[in-house]
Amino acid sequence: MHTERLFDRIDSIQIKGVTKKYGSRFAVKELDMEIHGGELLILIGPSGSGKTTILRMINRMIEQDSGSVIINGLDTRKLDPVRLRRNMGYVIQNIGLFPHMTIGENIGLVPKLEGWEKNRVKERVQYLLDFVSLPTDLFFNRYPRQLSGGQQQRVGLARALAMDPPLLLMDEPFGALDPILRKQLQEEFLKIKMEIGRTIVFVTHDIEEAFRLGDRIAIVDQAKIVQVGPPEELIFNPATKMVSEIVDTERKFKHMDTLNVKDLMSPFDSKYVFDSKMDTCDAVNEMTGRDLETAFIFDNGRLLGRITMVDLMKCRTKTQKLADVVRPLKTFQPLDSVAFALSELKKSGEYLALIMNEDRPSGILVSDEVLLKLI
């Protein structure tokens, strides 16, 4: 049986007025939410708040009582559920590998059911094992019980990716792992996330994991989403007390007023310095050579602003100078408070600032890095 792809990429998933009840209790109540194509959206909240139910209504393992889930304009109720699920990867904590099947057979199961040629299935499995850092020679013919928990979790991810799905649904995939292994798999997963560029909905109960992986975080409480936004928004503007408790604002950030930017900035390096009179095409080569995405532009020792590689991509003529394309840059002093700097950055929509000691650059402040150092 061959099933066509329903979508090559996700543009958006709209959840509109979705409700699911068990008896008289709401598991999910009148939920409205949009998932953006290409983002990693975290669902986090207390046990029993409705996270798994939300996830499973997206792939129709659970049918909502009312409301609709619209993917790229298609109402999922109008689609065949099996076909829908084959277009989505689903990863759970105890991944339920089939114990009597080898790792290779487990990963290749759906492609085989889809009628792929034997060799094509084998090649795909080899590729995926490599992708999740399990050497094919060692693992292809093993059985699940011969693998560690972390290795099994990798196999679960490989299996979910078998059909190259544009959407991944992950329900506490690292929840059962010890903290060190969890960190390591998170790091690897971040790389995988960049490589595959997929839309991912990810359930966790671990706020650090949420901050580390999430583009946006949705806080789920009592069958509702109480707030959804990027990490900084939850930290600086928690909608409810419960949100601030989850992000643990007070414990983690009470020191923010006493910390100075010099405590959290990255050291400045002269490789970032470019002269405003350099022409833009030369700057492209120079930045490539120095492995830079951003550079700071000075004119006779005076800071003009910054440029990014993207700003320079359109360089054509030899007449355009860096001074012509420079964009403004926020600067702070080493003794400014971190709280002040982060809120100024947020206001200006910037994520990066230069720390100036008198007239000399002494460090770089990157808002994401600061947040990660604080948690």
| Binding footprint of ligand ADP on the chain (CB under 6 A) | 22, 27, 45, 47-53
Q: What is the spatial distance between Cα 273 and Cα 297, in angstroms, rounded to a whole number?
A: 6
Q: What is the spatial distance between Cα 140 and Cα 142, in angstroms, rounded to a whole number?
A: 6
C-beta of 23 vs 301, nearer to ligand ADP: 23
Q: What is the spatial distance between Cα 365 and Cα 359, in angstroms, rounded to a whole number?
A: 17
Q: Identify what 89 binds: ligand ADP, Mg ion, none; CB under 5 to 8 Å per kind.
A: none
C-beta of 219 vs 371, nearer to Mg ion: 219
Coil, helix or strand at residue 134 = coil
Q: Provide φ and ψ at 338, rounded to 5°.
A: -60, -40
Q: Is 226 exposed, middle or buried (0-12, 13-18, 19+ CB in 10 A)?
A: middle
Coil, helix or strand at residue 251 = helix
Q: Identify what 363 binds: ligand ADP, Mg ion, none; CB under 5 to 8 Å per kind.
A: none
Query: Looking at 44-52, 289-297, 305-313, 321-329, which segment touches Mg ion (CB under 5 A)?
Result: 44-52
Shortest separation between residue 203's beta carbon and ligand ADP, angstroms: 7
- Which residue in 49, 52, 186, 276 binds Mg ion (CB under 5 A)? 52
Q: Identify what 50 binds: ligand ADP, Mg ion, none; CB under 5 to 8 Å per kind.
A: ligand ADP
C-beta of 45 vs 166, nearer to ligand ADP: 45
C-beta of 45 vs 156, nearer to ligand ADP: 45
Shortest separation between residue 51's beta carbon and Mg ion, angstroms: 5
CB burial readout 305-337, b (16+ within 10 A) else e: bbbeeebbeebeeeebbbbebbeebbbbeeebe
| Residue least distant from Mg ion (Cβ) | 52
C-beta of 45 vs 363, nearer to ligand ADP: 45
Query: How are beta strands 294-299 and 302-308 bridged, if at all?
Result: antiparallel
Describe the chain by its helix, strand, coil percentages, rounded to 5: 40, 25, 30
C-beta of 29 vs 142, nearer to ligand ADP: 29
Q: Identify what 48 binds: Mg ion, ligand ADP, none; CB under 5 to 8 Å per kind.
A: ligand ADP
* 53 in contact with Mg ion (CB under 5 A): no
Distance of CA 55 to the CA centre of its chain: 17
Which residues in this chain contact Mg ion in the complex, by CB under 5 A?
Answer: 52
